[in-house]
Chain A
Amino acid sequence: MIRVLLQRLAIAVPVLLGVSILVFALMEWIPGDPALAILGPMATEENLQNLREELNLNEPLVVRYGTWMQGILQGDWGTSYSMERPVWEEVRERFSATLILAGVAFILCILLGVLAGVAMAVRQNSLLEKVIMVAVTAGISTPAFWLGLVLIQIFAIHLGWLPTGGMGPAMGEVGWMELLPYLVLPALTLSLVAASIIARILRARMIELLRMDFIRTARAKGLPERTIIWRHAFRNALPPLLPLLGIQAGYVLGGAVYVESIFQWPGIGSMLVAAIQSRDLLLVQGGVLIVATTYVLLNLLADILQHALDPRTLS
Chain B
Amino acid sequence: MLSFTRFWIVVCVLLTAACGRVNETPEDTLVIGQVAEPRTLDPHVATSTNDFRILANIYEGLVRFADGSLEIEPALAHSWTVSEEATVYSFELREDVFFHDGSAFDAEAVRFNFERMLDPEHPFRHTGPFPLAFFFEAVEKIETPDPYTVVFHLSEPFSPFLANLAYPTGYLVSPESVRNKDNAFGRNPVGTGPFRFVDWVSRRRVLLERNPDYYAEPAAIKQLLFRPLADENARLTEMLAGSVDLIMEVPPDIVEFFRSAAEFKVIERAGPHLWFCILNTREGPFADPRMRRAVNLAVDRKSITRDLLQGTASAAYSFFPDAFGIYGEGKHPEFWRQRDLDKARALIDDAGYAGATIRFLVTDSGSGMLEPRAMAEAIQADLARVGLNLRIETFEWNTYLSIVNGGLQGHGDMAQMAWMTNDPDTLPYLTLRRAAWPEDGGFNSGYFANEALDELLEEARRTAAPEQRNRLYREADRILHETAPWIPVASWRQNAVLSRSVEGLELQPSFLLKLERARK
Using CB atoms and an 8 Å cutoff, list the residues of chain A in contact with chain B: 30-33, 36-47, 50-51, 54, 82, 84, 93, 111, 115, 118-119, 122-123, 149, 152-153, 155-157, 159-168, 170-171, 180-181, 184, 226, 261-264, 266, 270, 274, 277-279
Contacts and interface: CB of A to CB of B under 8 A. Distances in A.
Interface string B395-408: 11111111101000
A118 B85 CA distance: 89
A262 B231 contact: yes
Interface stretch (B75-83, B96-104, B235-243, B459-467): B235-243
B494 to A, nearest CB: 18
A167 B419 CA distance: 35
A31 B14 contact: no
B399 A31 contact: yes
A159 B225 CA distance: 25
* Residue with the greatest number of chain B CB neighbours at <10 A, chosen from A33, A39, A44: A44
B7 interface: yes
Interface stretch (B17-25, B139-147, B319-327): B17-25
A164 B402 contact: no
B210 interface: no
17 contacts: A32-B396, A32-B400, A38-B39, A42-B430, A51-B129, A149-B233, A153-B237, A160-B23, A160-B241, A161-B19, A165-B234, A167-B204, A181-B22, A262-B233, A264-B234, A266-B203, A277-B397
Nearest to B46: A40
B18 A184 contact: yes
* Residue with the greatest number of chain A CB neighbours at <10 A, chosen from B207, B233, B237: B237
B402 A33 contact: yes
A184 B441 CA distance: 52
Contacts of B225: 170-171
A111 to B, nearest CB: 7
A30 B399 contact: yes
Contacts of A181: 18, 22
A165 B231 CA distance: 11
A85 B233 CA distance: 29
Contact of B31 (A41, A170, A279): A170
Nearest to B205: A170
Nearest to A111: B7
Contacts of B69: none
Contacts of A40: 47-48, 131, 367
Given A115-B7, A163-B243, A279 B398 contact: yes
B399 A160 contact: no
Given A122-B1, A164-B241, A165-B234, A41 B401 contact: yes
Contacts of A149: 233, 237
B2 interface: yes
Contacts of A32: 396, 398-402
Contacts of B397: 277
Interface string B125-138: 00001011010000
B402 A184 contact: no
A3 to B, nearest CB: 42
Contacts of B216: none
B441 A44 contact: yes
Contacts, number: 144
Interface in B43-82: 47-48
* Residue with the greatest number of chain A CB neighbours at <10 A, chosen from B47, B227, B241: B241
Contacts of B396: 32, 277
Contacts of A161: 15-16, 18-20, 22
A30 B397 CA distance: 12
A171 B234 contact: no
Given A161-B18, A161-B19, A266-B203, A31 B402 contact: yes
B321 to A, nearest CB: 16
Contacts of B441: 44-46
Interface of B: 1-4, 7, 14-16, 18-20, 22-23, 26, 29, 31, 39, 47-48, 129, 131-132, 134, 183, 186, 202-205, 207, 225, 227, 229-231, 233-234, 237-238, 240-243, 367, 395-403, 405, 419, 430, 441, 443
Nearest to A161: B19
Contact of B4 (A30, A115, A274): A115
A119 B1 contact: yes
A162 B15 contact: yes
A115 B230 contact: no
For the complex of A and B, list the 9 residue pairs with the smallest distance between their C-beta atoms, beginning with the closest: A40-B47, A32-B398, A181-B18, A161-B19, A45-B441, A39-B131, A266-B203, A32-B399, A164-B237
A44 B132 CA distance: 9
A168 B204 contact: yes
B116 to A, nearest CB: 15
A260 B18 CA distance: 21
Contact of A184 (B15, B398, B430): B15
Contacts of A122: 1
Given A156-B241, A170-B227, A266-B203, 15 more contacts: A31-B402, A41-B419, A42-B131, A115-B3, A152-B237, A153-B237, A163-B241, A164-B237, A165-B229, A165-B234, A181-B22, A263-B234, A264-B229, A264-B234, A277-B396
B131 A156 contact: no
Contacts of B4: 115, 118-119
Contacts of B19: 159-162
A162 B22 contact: yes
B31 A38 contact: no
Nearest to B398: A32
A46 B130 CA distance: 12
A82 B39 contact: yes
B18 A162 contact: yes
Contacts of A160: 19, 22-23, 241-242
Contacts of B243: 163-164
Contacts of A123: 1
B131 A157 contact: no
B486 to A, nearest CB: 16
Contacts of B16: 161
Contacts of B233: 149, 262
B47 A278 contact: no
Contact of B234 (A36, A45, A164): A164
B14 A180 contact: yes
Given A30-B399, A44-B441, A156-B23, A262 B131 contact: no
Given A32-B402, A40-B48, A42-B131, A180 B18 contact: yes
B129 A38 contact: yes
A99 B31 CA distance: 29
Contacts of B47: 39-40, 42
A214 B247 CA distance: 64
Given A44-B134, A45-B441, A47-B131, A36 B401 contact: yes
A186 to B, nearest CB: 12
Contacts of B183: 84
Nearest to A93: B202
A37 B29 CA distance: 33
Given A32-B402, A226-B2, A39 B129 contact: yes
A182 B503 CA distance: 30
